[in-house]
Chain A
Amino acid sequence: MEILPILRSLRRNRVGAVLIGLQITLTLAIVCNCVSIIQQHLQQMRRPSGIDEANIFSFWNGWLGDPTDPAARVQGDLAALRALPGVIDAVATNSFPLHGGGSSWDLSIKPEKNHRKATSALYYVDQHALAAYGLKLTAGRWFRADEVGELRTDEDKFPATIVITQHLAEQLFPAGNALGRLVYFTTKEDIQGAQASLIVGIIQTAQTPFAGSSWGESFLENSTFVPFQYLDKSGVVYVVRTRAGQQATVMRIAQDKLYGLRNRRVIQALRPFSFIRHQAYLGERATSVMLEAVCALLLTITAFGVIGLTMYWVNQRRRYIGMRRALGARRLDILKYFHTENLLIAGTGCALGIALGLWGNAWLAVSLELTRMSAAFIGGGALMVLGLCQAAVLWPALRAASIPPALATRAM
């Protein structure tokens, strides 16, 4: 196939060629960056929280008035929940992964100020939490009943023992010997003096309550379990884990069971964990769907642009095509002509698109903390766009190839 005649004829249709090329450039650059953002969101949404998501539900429970015996009430509720058929275990706590609200603290490895610190979410739990959350213990042990204390409203105290996540362990002790080591909640300069806690167990994964918010990204898997029965007077969160397939049934009866036990209470936000996850990544999901739609529309519009303009070129050149056919060009030659022409335009567009896409990606990498896309990724995108354009040009090219040679001899 001769390229030079194609180029010469393109020069006569400069504006059209430039317009198509420009479209392809923008399309490739935008689509690649969108896909890369979508991939990041999907990857974020897919990260395991570390708990038995399929079988956990939770609700918030508050008391009317200021109860004088919060510990007895919570224990009574927990006993009732644990006795329900289909329940594996239940726990009263301040929060759970992806919940949104919770507390966090800076842990240090030395009792003096300005030592290596790591921010961690705090979960106040009892000896049942390992089973109630469905966590995976990778080293050490979980809390014994005798080491669980009480934490009341406005109390800030610290435990003698803690269990932390693998990720936090590695951050505090990069050498990998966190089990059995001390960490400090406070330093010597604080009112209470230095408070040391012994790491007795390591959990494989437990995301913080703040997963899903941009604020929580920096310490996503830094969680610390603290053996305190959480007894805030405004209310506690109950987390209940059921046997597979029993969640809906247990959720229906749990609320009535507790109201039956004591009527002067408030139960709110009774929700399966699947809802919590849905809620935590609402924005990401909406953005992903929107960007997917934008990509699909862009590719469609560009394909139709190619079809429209090529159709026009074919119509414009009907006589010349007829002439070429009369002079011995086969249908295949005509097809090839338009496909090669399109390849030249789209190829140039894609080359520029790769450059623009990478530039845009560099900018997004800073403003959105987006991972850089690889050359192979955008190269693959370019090939896809080229393929799409070739497919789009097929129909007009077939129309061109079907022009009869006799047309050359007829007046238009």
Chain B
Amino acid sequence: MLRYSFQLALRGLKRNLALTVLTVAAVGVGIGTCMTVLTTLVGMSGNPIPDKSSQLFVPQIDVAGPAARRSSGGPDGAKLPSQLTYRDAVALLKAHRGVRQTAMYEVAQTVNPPGGRPFQVAGRATYADFFTMFEAPFRAGAAWGQQQDDNRENVVVLGAHLAERVFPHRNPVGSTINLNSRDYRIIGVLDTWLLIPHFYDLTGGGFADTEDFYIPFTTAIERQIPTWGGTNCTELPPPGWQGRLNSSCVWIQFWVELPSAAQVRAFRDFLQGYAAQQQQLGRFHWPAEVALHDVTDWLVYSDVVPHEVRVNSLVAIGLLVVCLVNAVGLMLAKFSGRSVELSLRRALGASRRDVYLQCIVETTIVGFLGGLLGLALTAAGLAVLRALLDLGGRDSVSGRLAYLDTQMVVITVIVAIVATMCSGLYPTYRASRIQPAWQLKVQ
């Protein structure tokens, strides 16, 4: 029966080829555009660390004060500082309230390879816990431990990109690398690490690349390696490196791992207590506001996905709706244009269900073809997007957002078929309601 319906449906599609092609094109264009835009949105708003996103937290302390936050321009004016001062970061670290915790900041160093010109790379000064907390994938070697942190050792973990650049085709673990004229012992090498968004430090943009190297925070502080990221001061810091460390400027990112709700509650209380104590010590003259966000909250709070992208998605969904409305109209035209044929089938004994099945099969084929066209258009759209976002040189993360994975391919075809079937419901219903006798009589 289904096979017969299929044959009839194919014949039906061929009978009015222009309308069929138009319908498939409408569905394809709608699906193609919508999926192009949604792929980017899904890429941008994805969860970068699914199994731990509700266990990793960023604490915030209002060291700026409500007045400074209001007066400082920009849309972020009313928010608490997104980073911590050095003193607070060290204090929270020493309190050791989480299962793991790390303070960190972005650094830049000049690599002086044995042969070839020196070049500059971005890295991160952080604590041993970083690698476990954020599930950094190791290709070789391992992270340093607490001992290296305490002893301010000259150890380094390389990112895949830098490792391949300086040590092509060999395992660099155990070798040394020269950063800003100092030798560091390589104890680990990471695999390619795609982190979208770059959630643990959003100051360099939500879609920055992961770093080229990682060194102990304590070593970087002792070496007086300045931050390569953002620093925010509400008052003038005292002069010199020590002045910067003692200042109320915020430039350190802090993360803490709290696996259970009880630990989260305890840490929140601790944070509140710490801030209140600092206020009593006279560091600030306003109620010490604090906040604690997990990864998911943090990405929303930090507006990682630009409003433009959301608006684009709405526009694309609008386009899909128009295309589907179009498809409804065209299918309606097609089916009622064939009312004679359908009533003839009914008159010759086909049940209403048979006619219904024939129409449904026909609609599904249109949906499937529309899905395939949509897929091709999505691939083309994403290629255009990548070209637009391409800056040359190293593959940028924003360019990488515009890739179609198997999951999206399956979703695209399913969405196309479901959407087309939905838009085919009414035309199909109308077609199957034809009164055979009446139709034949009129003719």
Contacts and interface: CB of A to CB of B under 8 A. Distances in A.
Interface stretch (B55-63, B134-142, B233-241): B233-241
Nearest to A190: B236
Interface range on chain B (Cβ under 8 Å from partner):
35 or more
B37 interface: yes
Contacts of B310: 367
B120 A368 contact: no
Q: Report the contact-size class of chain A (Cβ under 8 Å from the partner).
A: 35 or more
Interface in B65-81: 67, 71-76
Given A191-B236, A301-B26, A215 B316 contact: no
Interface stretch (A22-30, A73-81, A136-144): A22-30
B10 interface: no
B326 A215 contact: no
Given A19-B328, A19-B332, A301-B322, A294 B315 contact: yes
A359 interface: no
Contact of A298 (B117, B181, B322, B389): B322
Given A16-B329, A154-B240, A305-B330, A291 B108 contact: no
Interface stretch (A45-53, A60-68, A386-394): A60-68
B98 to A, nearest CB: 30
A106 B72 contact: yes
A297 B75 contact: no
Contacts of B19: 308, 312
Contact of B22 (A33, A66, A308): A308
Given A64-B112, A119-B72, A305-B26, A289 B315 contact: no
A203 B181 CA distance: 42
Contacts of B67: 114
Contacts of B281: none
B312 interface: yes
Contacts of B318: 26, 29-30
Contact of A26 (B74, B108, B322): B322
Given A62-B120, A282-B388, A308-B330, 5 more contacts: A16-B332, A118-B73, A266-B110, A285-B388, A293-B381
A218 B329 contact: no
Contacts, number: 179
Nearest to A302: B322
Interface string B72-97: 11111000000000000000000000
A312 B329 CA distance: 10
B322 to A, nearest CB: 5
A368 B337 contact: no
B293 interface: no
Nearest to B377: A297
A314 B426 CA distance: 22
Contact of A367 (B307, B334, B385, B443): B307
Given A154-B240, A316-B337, A268 B119 contact: yes
A177 to B, nearest CB: 23
B333 A312 contact: yes
Sort A-B residue pairs by CB-CB distance and give the 5 closest, nearest first.
A312-B333, A19-B329, A305-B326, A65-B181, A286-B388
A287 to B, nearest CB: 5
Contacts of A165: none
A305 B74 contact: no
B112 A301 contact: no
Interface in B300-334: 306-308, 310-312, 315-316, 318-319, 321-323, 325-326, 328-330, 332-334
B323 A301 contact: yes
Nearest to A313: B333
A85 interface: no
Contacts of B273: none
Contact of B25 (A26, A118, A265, A304): A304
A290 B236 contact: no
Contacts of B238: 191
A409 interface: no
Residue among B19, B72, B73, B391 with max Cβ neighbours from chain A (10 Å): B73
B75 A37 contact: no
B215 interface: no
B226 interface: yes
B319 A298 contact: yes
Interface string A105-120: 0100000001001110
